[in-house]
Amino acid sequence: MPTCWLVSEDDCHKPVHLPHHHVLTLGRGPETRIKDQKCSRRQVELRADCNKGLISVKQLGTNPTSVDNVVVGKGNQVTLKPGQRLHMVNQLYPYTVSFSEDTSSPTSAREGSKSNKRPLQRDEGEKESPARKVAVSSHREREADDPPLAEKAKPASAEVEPSFSAGHWNQGLKVSMQDPKLQVYKDEKVVVIKDKYPKARHHWLVLPWESIPSLKALRLKHCDLLKHMQHVGGSMVQQCPDGQKLRFRLGYHAIPSMSHVHLHVISQDFDSPCLKNKKHWNSFTTDYFIESEDVIAMLERDGKVAVKDGTSELLKLPLRCHVCHKEQATIPKLKDHLKTHLTS
Protein backbone atom coordinates (compact mmCIF):
# COMPACT_ATOMS: atom_id res chain seq x y z
CA MET A 1 0.00 0.00 0.00
CA PRO A 2 1.36 3.49 -0.81
CA THR A 3 2.24 5.77 2.08
CA CYS A 4 1.00 9.35 2.21
CA TRP A 5 3.04 12.47 2.95
CA LEU A 6 2.05 16.11 3.35
CA VAL A 7 4.85 18.18 1.82
CA SER A 8 5.58 21.81 2.70
CA GLU A 9 5.91 23.89 -0.47
CA ASP A 10 8.10 26.35 1.45
CA ASP A 11 10.44 23.58 2.63
CA CYS A 12 9.82 24.72 6.20
CA HIS A 13 9.94 21.22 7.63
CA LYS A 14 10.14 17.57 6.74
CA PRO A 15 7.11 15.93 5.13
CA VAL A 16 4.42 14.85 7.57
CA HIS A 17 3.47 11.18 7.39
CA LEU A 18 -0.28 10.57 7.16
CA PRO A 19 -1.04 6.92 7.99
CA HIS A 20 -3.87 5.22 6.13
CA HIS A 21 -7.29 6.11 7.62
CA HIS A 22 -5.62 7.81 10.60
CA VAL A 23 -6.95 11.20 11.69
CA LEU A 24 -4.23 13.82 12.19
CA THR A 25 -4.75 17.38 13.40
CA LEU A 26 -2.33 20.09 12.27
CA GLY A 27 -1.97 23.83 12.68
CA ARG A 28 0.29 26.31 14.40
CA GLY A 29 3.09 24.57 16.25
CA PRO A 30 6.54 22.99 16.09
CA GLU A 31 5.54 20.27 13.64
CA THR A 32 4.66 22.79 10.91
CA ARG A 33 6.82 25.64 12.28
CA ILE A 34 3.88 27.98 11.69
CA LYS A 35 3.93 30.85 14.20
CA ASP A 36 1.11 32.88 12.69
CA GLN A 37 -1.44 33.57 15.44
CA LYS A 38 -4.22 33.53 12.86
CA CYS A 39 -3.56 29.86 12.34
CA SER A 40 -5.18 27.77 15.06
CA ARG A 41 -3.19 25.02 16.78
CA ARG A 42 -6.00 22.79 15.52
CA GLN A 43 -6.49 24.37 12.10
CA VAL A 44 -7.20 21.28 10.01
CA GLU A 45 -8.09 17.64 10.44
CA LEU A 46 -6.55 15.35 7.84
CA ARG A 47 -7.44 11.76 6.98
CA ALA A 48 -5.58 9.90 4.23
CA ASP A 49 -6.99 7.16 2.05
CA CYS A 50 -3.85 5.59 0.60
CA ASN A 51 -5.80 3.12 -1.54
CA LYS A 52 -7.71 5.89 -3.33
CA GLY A 53 -4.82 8.35 -3.29
CA LEU A 54 -6.58 11.26 -1.60
CA ILE A 55 -6.85 13.15 1.69
CA SER A 56 -9.97 14.41 3.42
CA VAL A 57 -9.40 17.95 4.76
CA LYS A 58 -11.68 19.37 7.43
CA GLN A 59 -11.27 22.97 8.58
CA LEU A 60 -11.36 23.31 12.37
CA GLY A 61 -9.91 26.80 12.79
CA THR A 62 -11.80 30.07 12.45
CA ASN A 63 -9.68 31.60 9.69
CA PRO A 64 -9.99 30.10 6.19
CA THR A 65 -8.14 27.02 4.99
CA SER A 66 -8.27 26.58 1.21
CA VAL A 67 -7.64 23.96 -1.46
CA ASP A 68 -6.72 25.37 -4.88
CA ASN A 69 -7.96 28.83 -3.82
CA VAL A 70 -11.36 27.43 -2.76
CA VAL A 71 -12.08 28.12 0.92
CA VAL A 72 -13.06 25.03 2.88
CA GLY A 73 -15.05 26.80 5.61
CA LYS A 74 -15.13 26.00 9.30
CA GLY A 75 -16.64 22.59 9.92
CA ASN A 76 -16.65 21.71 6.23
CA GLN A 77 -14.70 18.91 4.58
CA VAL A 78 -13.15 18.68 1.09
CA THR A 79 -10.86 16.29 -0.76
CA LEU A 80 -7.18 17.02 -1.49
CA LYS A 81 -5.63 15.09 -4.35
CA PRO A 82 -2.09 14.96 -5.79
CA GLY A 83 -1.53 18.02 -7.94
CA GLN A 84 -3.71 20.24 -5.74
CA ARG A 85 -2.42 22.73 -3.21
CA LEU A 86 -3.55 23.17 0.38
CA HIS A 87 -3.07 26.56 2.04
CA MET A 88 -3.16 26.10 5.78
CA VAL A 89 -4.66 29.52 6.50
CA ASN A 90 -5.36 32.82 4.70
CA GLN A 91 -3.82 31.67 1.41
CA LEU A 92 -0.50 31.10 3.21
CA TYR A 93 1.68 28.08 4.11
CA PRO A 94 1.15 25.95 0.99
CA TYR A 95 1.26 22.15 1.02
CA THR A 96 0.96 19.37 -1.52
CA VAL A 97 0.27 15.69 -1.01
CA SER A 98 2.50 12.86 -2.19
CA PHE A 99 1.89 9.12 -2.23
CA SER A 100 5.00 6.94 -2.22
CA GLU A 101 5.71 3.22 -2.18
CA ASP A 102 8.94 3.83 -0.25
CA THR A 103 8.29 3.38 3.46
CA SER A 104 11.89 3.06 4.62
CA SER A 105 12.17 6.48 6.25
CA PRO A 106 10.73 10.00 6.20
CA THR A 107 13.90 11.15 4.43
CA SER A 108 13.53 8.73 1.55
CA ALA A 109 9.85 9.54 1.30
CA ARG A 110 10.71 13.22 1.12
CA GLU A 111 13.03 12.53 -1.78
CA GLY A 112 10.36 10.43 -3.43
CA SER A 113 7.81 13.17 -3.03
CA LYS A 114 10.17 15.69 -4.57
CA SER A 115 10.45 13.60 -7.69
CA ASN A 116 6.81 14.55 -8.24
CA LYS A 117 7.05 17.98 -6.69
CA ARG A 118 10.31 19.59 -7.78
CA PRO A 119 13.77 18.66 -9.01
CA LEU A 120 16.19 17.31 -6.42
CA GLN A 121 19.11 19.55 -5.59
CA ARG A 122 22.29 17.97 -6.92
CA ASP A 123 25.80 17.84 -5.52
CA GLU A 124 28.23 20.55 -6.59
CA GLY A 125 30.07 18.42 -9.13
CA GLU A 126 27.21 16.35 -10.49
CA LYS A 127 25.92 17.12 -13.95
CA GLU A 128 22.37 16.74 -15.10
CA SER A 129 21.20 14.56 -17.97
CA PRO A 130 20.77 16.44 -21.25
CA ALA A 131 17.26 16.42 -22.63
CA ARG A 132 15.98 17.05 -26.11
CA LYS A 133 16.81 20.25 -27.96
CA VAL A 134 13.98 22.68 -28.40
CA ALA A 135 13.15 24.91 -31.33
CA VAL A 136 13.08 28.67 -31.11
CA SER A 137 9.90 30.53 -31.88
CA SER A 138 9.42 34.23 -31.27
CA HIS A 139 5.93 35.64 -30.81
CA ARG A 140 6.82 39.17 -29.78
CA GLU A 141 6.22 42.23 -31.90
CA ARG A 142 9.52 44.05 -32.43
CA GLU A 143 10.68 47.17 -34.17
CA ALA A 144 11.83 46.53 -37.76
CA ASP A 145 15.35 47.87 -37.20
CA ASP A 146 15.89 45.87 -34.00
CA PRO A 147 16.72 42.19 -34.68
CA PRO A 148 14.92 39.76 -32.36
CA LEU A 149 16.91 38.21 -29.57
CA ALA A 150 15.67 34.81 -30.71
CA GLU A 151 17.42 35.22 -34.05
CA LYS A 152 20.73 35.65 -32.21
CA ALA A 153 20.19 32.55 -30.09
CA LYS A 154 22.47 29.56 -30.31
CA PRO A 155 21.10 26.00 -30.33
CA ALA A 156 20.65 24.99 -26.72
CA SER A 157 20.78 21.67 -25.01
CA ALA A 158 18.07 21.79 -22.37
CA GLU A 159 19.63 20.20 -19.32
CA VAL A 160 16.63 19.45 -17.18
CA GLU A 161 15.88 17.05 -14.37
CA PRO A 162 14.38 13.92 -15.94
CA SER A 163 12.61 12.70 -12.83
CA PHE A 164 9.88 15.34 -12.37
CA SER A 165 6.23 14.68 -13.00
CA ALA A 166 5.04 16.99 -15.77
CA GLY A 167 1.46 16.75 -14.55
CA HIS A 168 2.20 18.30 -11.16
CA TRP A 169 0.97 21.90 -11.07
CA ASN A 170 4.12 23.41 -9.56
CA GLN A 171 6.25 21.85 -12.30
CA GLY A 172 4.47 23.98 -14.90
CA LEU A 173 7.54 26.07 -15.66
CA LYS A 174 9.50 22.94 -16.53
CA VAL A 175 6.91 22.22 -19.20
CA SER A 176 6.44 25.81 -20.39
CA MET A 177 10.14 26.44 -20.91
CA GLN A 178 10.16 23.57 -23.44
CA ASP A 179 7.20 24.99 -25.39
CA PRO A 180 8.32 26.78 -28.60
CA LYS A 181 5.04 28.71 -28.64
CA LEU A 182 5.96 30.38 -25.35
CA GLN A 183 9.67 30.88 -25.98
CA VAL A 184 10.79 34.34 -27.08
CA TYR A 185 14.54 33.82 -26.66
CA LYS A 186 17.04 31.18 -25.70
CA ASP A 187 20.78 30.62 -25.55
CA GLU A 188 23.07 28.02 -24.04
CA LYS A 189 22.30 29.17 -20.49
CA VAL A 190 18.72 30.46 -20.35
CA VAL A 191 15.34 30.57 -22.02
CA VAL A 192 12.80 33.41 -21.90
CA ILE A 193 9.09 32.67 -22.00
CA LYS A 194 5.93 34.70 -21.77
CA ASP A 195 4.21 34.40 -18.43
CA LYS A 196 1.01 32.43 -19.06
CA TYR A 197 -0.87 34.65 -16.61
CA PRO A 198 0.85 38.03 -17.02
CA LYS A 199 0.30 40.56 -14.27
CA ALA A 200 1.13 43.51 -16.54
CA ARG A 201 1.20 44.46 -20.23
CA HIS A 202 4.68 42.97 -20.50
CA HIS A 203 5.65 40.06 -18.28
CA TRP A 204 8.39 37.55 -19.12
CA LEU A 205 10.20 34.88 -17.16
CA VAL A 206 13.92 34.20 -17.59
CA LEU A 207 14.73 30.60 -16.63
CA PRO A 208 18.07 28.79 -16.54
CA TRP A 209 18.43 25.45 -18.29
CA GLU A 210 20.27 24.26 -15.21
CA SER A 211 17.87 22.70 -12.73
CA ILE A 212 17.76 25.01 -9.70
CA PRO A 213 14.59 24.43 -7.65
CA SER A 214 14.47 27.64 -5.61
CA LEU A 215 16.36 30.67 -4.30
CA LYS A 216 17.46 28.56 -1.35
CA ALA A 217 19.42 26.32 -3.72
CA LEU A 218 21.46 29.20 -5.14
CA ARG A 219 25.14 29.35 -4.25
CA LEU A 220 28.13 31.57 -5.02
CA LYS A 221 28.86 29.54 -8.16
CA HIS A 222 25.52 30.72 -9.63
CA CYS A 223 26.44 34.45 -9.60
CA ASP A 224 27.55 34.52 -13.23
CA LEU A 225 24.37 32.72 -14.27
CA LEU A 226 22.16 35.22 -12.43
CA LYS A 227 24.08 38.13 -13.96
CA HIS A 228 23.47 36.63 -17.39
CA MET A 229 19.76 36.23 -16.58
CA GLN A 230 19.64 39.90 -15.58
CA HIS A 231 21.43 40.92 -18.78
CA VAL A 232 18.97 38.95 -20.90
CA GLY A 233 16.05 40.46 -19.00
CA GLY A 234 17.44 43.94 -19.61
CA SER A 235 17.72 43.16 -23.32
CA MET A 236 14.05 42.17 -23.36
CA VAL A 237 13.17 45.58 -21.94
CA GLN A 238 15.37 47.42 -24.43
CA GLN A 239 13.72 45.67 -27.35
CA CYS A 240 10.19 46.12 -26.02
CA PRO A 241 8.18 48.74 -27.99
CA ASP A 242 7.09 50.24 -24.64
CA GLY A 243 10.58 49.96 -23.13
CA GLN A 244 11.08 53.73 -23.08
CA LYS A 245 7.53 54.58 -22.07
CA LEU A 246 6.97 52.10 -19.22
CA ARG A 247 9.07 51.36 -16.17
CA PHE A 248 10.19 47.76 -15.64
CA ARG A 249 11.47 45.78 -12.68
CA LEU A 250 13.56 42.62 -12.70
CA GLY A 251 13.38 40.38 -9.67
CA TYR A 252 12.40 37.20 -7.87
CA HIS A 253 9.57 36.22 -5.55
CA ALA A 254 10.97 35.48 -2.10
CA ILE A 255 8.78 32.38 -1.77
CA PRO A 256 7.68 31.39 -5.28
CA SER A 257 4.75 29.03 -5.79
CA MET A 258 6.37 27.45 -8.86
CA SER A 259 9.43 25.22 -8.76
CA HIS A 260 12.54 26.22 -10.75
CA VAL A 261 14.29 29.55 -10.27
CA HIS A 262 12.85 32.22 -12.56
CA LEU A 263 13.51 35.93 -12.97
CA HIS A 264 10.44 38.12 -13.51
CA VAL A 265 10.76 40.92 -16.06
CA ILE A 266 7.58 42.93 -15.57
CA SER A 267 6.33 46.35 -16.61
CA GLN A 268 4.99 48.51 -13.80
CA ASP A 269 1.65 49.41 -15.40
CA PHE A 270 0.05 46.24 -13.94
CA ASP A 271 -2.60 46.56 -16.61
CA SER A 272 -3.76 42.96 -16.88
CA PRO A 273 -6.95 40.96 -16.26
CA CYS A 274 -4.78 38.26 -14.67
CA LEU A 275 -4.01 40.52 -11.72
CA LYS A 276 -7.01 39.57 -9.60
CA ASN A 277 -6.27 39.69 -5.88
CA LYS A 278 -4.23 41.16 -3.04
CA LYS A 279 -1.74 38.30 -3.14
CA HIS A 280 -0.96 39.00 -6.80
CA TRP A 281 -0.49 42.70 -6.13
CA ASN A 282 1.63 42.44 -2.99
CA SER A 283 3.86 39.75 -4.48
CA PHE A 284 5.16 42.35 -6.97
CA THR A 285 4.92 45.63 -5.03
CA THR A 286 6.29 44.80 -1.58
CA ASP A 287 9.61 43.42 -0.32
CA TYR A 288 8.23 40.01 -1.27
CA PHE A 289 9.64 40.91 -4.69
CA ILE A 290 13.44 40.94 -4.43
CA GLU A 291 15.36 42.94 -7.02
CA SER A 292 17.69 40.92 -9.22
CA GLU A 293 20.66 43.08 -8.22
CA ASP A 294 19.94 42.47 -4.53
CA VAL A 295 19.86 38.70 -5.01
CA ILE A 296 23.19 38.78 -6.82
CA ALA A 297 24.71 41.03 -4.14
CA MET A 298 23.48 38.67 -1.40
CA LEU A 299 25.02 35.69 -3.17
CA GLU A 300 28.33 37.46 -3.62
CA ARG A 301 28.38 38.55 0.02
CA ASP A 302 26.96 35.51 1.82
CA GLY A 303 27.19 32.68 -0.68
CA LYS A 304 23.45 32.05 -0.37
CA VAL A 305 20.07 33.79 -0.42
CA ALA A 306 18.27 34.27 2.88
CA VAL A 307 14.55 35.02 3.10
CA LYS A 308 13.49 36.94 6.19
CA ASP A 309 11.08 35.40 8.68
CA GLY A 310 7.55 36.67 8.19
CA THR A 311 8.03 37.41 4.50
CA SER A 312 4.83 35.54 3.67
CA GLU A 313 2.92 38.05 5.81
CA LEU A 314 3.70 40.74 3.24
CA LEU A 315 1.09 39.20 0.94
CA LYS A 316 -1.60 40.30 3.41
CA LEU A 317 -0.66 43.97 3.51
CA PRO A 318 -3.26 46.56 2.43
CA LEU A 319 -3.53 47.42 -1.25
CA ARG A 320 -1.30 50.44 -1.80
CA CYS A 321 -0.47 52.15 -5.06
CA HIS A 322 3.18 51.49 -5.91
CA VAL A 323 3.52 55.01 -7.33
CA CYS A 324 1.87 57.33 -4.79
CA HIS A 325 1.33 54.78 -1.98
CA LYS A 326 -2.34 55.67 -1.53
CA GLU A 327 -4.33 52.80 -0.03
CA GLN A 328 -7.17 51.38 -2.11
CA ALA A 329 -10.04 49.29 -0.82
CA THR A 330 -10.37 46.75 -3.61
CA ILE A 331 -8.53 45.52 -6.70
CA PRO A 332 -11.04 47.18 -9.10
CA LYS A 333 -10.57 50.51 -7.31
CA LEU A 334 -6.82 50.04 -7.37
CA LYS A 335 -6.88 49.39 -11.12
CA ASP A 336 -8.98 52.50 -11.73
CA HIS A 337 -6.50 54.46 -9.65
CA LEU A 338 -3.53 53.09 -11.62
CA LYS A 339 -5.02 54.44 -14.85
CA THR A 340 -4.54 57.98 -13.52
CA HIS A 341 -0.80 57.36 -13.37
CA LEU A 342 -0.70 55.88 -16.85
CA THR A 343 -2.41 58.91 -18.38
CA SER A 344 -0.64 61.56 -16.31
Q: Which residues are catalytic?
A: 262
Cα separations in angstroms, 25 against 29, 41, 43, 101 = 11, 9, 7, 24
Residue among 142, 130, 152, 121 at smallest CA distance from 215: 121
Phi, psi of 148, deg, nearest 5: -65, 145
Cα separations in angstroms, 336 against 6, 10, 26, 28, 330 = 41, 34, 41, 38, 10
Helix H or strand E segment including 320: strand 319-320
Residue among 299, 133, 105 at smallest CA distance from 212: 299
Sign of CA dihedral 161, 166, 170, 171: positive
- Burial 87-103, CB ≥16 within 10 A → b, else e: bbbbbbbbbbbbbbeee
Q: How far apart are CA 103 and CA 4, in angstroms?
A: 10
